Amino acid sequence: MAMTTTRLLAALLLALFAAAALAAAPARAEYWTIASEDHFPPYNYSFNGKRTGIDTEIVAALVKELGITPVYRPLSWSEVVRSMDENTADVGFQFIASPARFAQYNMIGPFRTGTTVFMVRKDSSITFDRLEDLTPYRIGVVDGFSYAPDFDAATYLEKVASSSNVVNFRRLMLGRVDVIVGDLHVLNFMAKQDGRLRDVRVLSKPLGLIPRYIALPKARKEKAEKLQAAFVKLRDDGTIARIVDSWLAE
């Protein structure tokens, strides 16, 4: 009888220890794949082997709020779009809104607004008031990018496509295009990176103020709902604005 009681007590203690060990064990990590354009500074790029930038930091804050571990996938922009279309990544950024994209994806945001501008060489006489003013010129664009609805629809403009903003900027410097279009901070970063900031100027009238969004494939609705809730929280408590300001403050 004493032996049976001892065995029962031992079994009970083992069960208690096992329960305590399970309670103390960390929850299994959840990983989300995050697709973004490989080199789009200062918003997303690699530095010393680490993904960084304004938008990367915003997305990192959102997934951290959810207890998610991000796995970054730097890609060409066309590959980012394809990863959303083919449901091969959880999250992609940074998308410009359109009715088609709201129909195709779960769109979160806008999480910031960018200024899209035209850049020319310093000695250029080009001015811009209406898109028709740019009809005589070769305009460098990045293949697959959307800029502003009226510009994207302007088939009468000569648009010379390239693979990246870096290629676009160097074509401008070589005289292979007359104008390039893009985000103000991205184009300025390109110019600084090449030591050519003094050799270019931004046309005074912007093409537009463009809200930017995070996308998830339609099939990942549950994840999109979680990310939307995290976005609202960090937008309302000022976290997102602080991230943007920390990068862009004069």
Ordered structural domains, the chain, with CATH: 30-113+211-248 (3.40.190.10), 114-209 (3.40.190.10)
Check residue 25 and give its pLDDT.
40
Give the tens place of pLDDT for each residue, 223-248.
999 999 999 999 999 999 999 999 98
CB atoms within 10 A of CB 202: 15
Check residue 22 and give its pLDDT.
45
pLDDT-derived band at 204 (thresholds 50, 70, 90) equals very high
Where do we find the tokens 């809200």? Answer: 211
Give the tens place of pLDDT for each residue, 29-68.
899 999 999 999 999 999 999 999 999 999 999 999 999 9
Check residue 64 and give its pLDDT.
97
Check residue 229 and give its pLDDT.
98
Query: What pTM was estimated for this model as a whole?
Result: 0.80
Higher pLDDT, 182 or 2: 182
Please answer whether residues 55 and 224 qualify as being in contact, where contact means their C-beta atoms are separated by less than 8 angstroms.
no
User: Is residue 175 scored above 70 in pLDDT?
Assistant: yes
Give the tens place of pLDDT for each residue, 113-159.
999 999 999 999 999 999 999 999 999 999 989 999 999 999 999 99
pLDDT-derived band at 249 (thresholds 50, 70, 90) equals confident
Check residue 4 and give its pLDDT.
59
Please answer whether residues 136 and 124 qualify as being in contact, where contact means their C-beta atoms are separated by less than 8 angstroms.
no
Give the tens place of pLDDT for each residue, 101-111.
999 999 999 99
Please answer whether residues 213 and 111 qualify as being in contact, where contact means their C-beta atoms are separated by less than 8 angstroms.
yes
Please give the full DSSP string across 77-132, using - where no structure is assigned.
HHHHHHHHHTT-SSEEEEEEP-HHHHHHEEEEEEEEEEEEEEEEETT-----SSGG
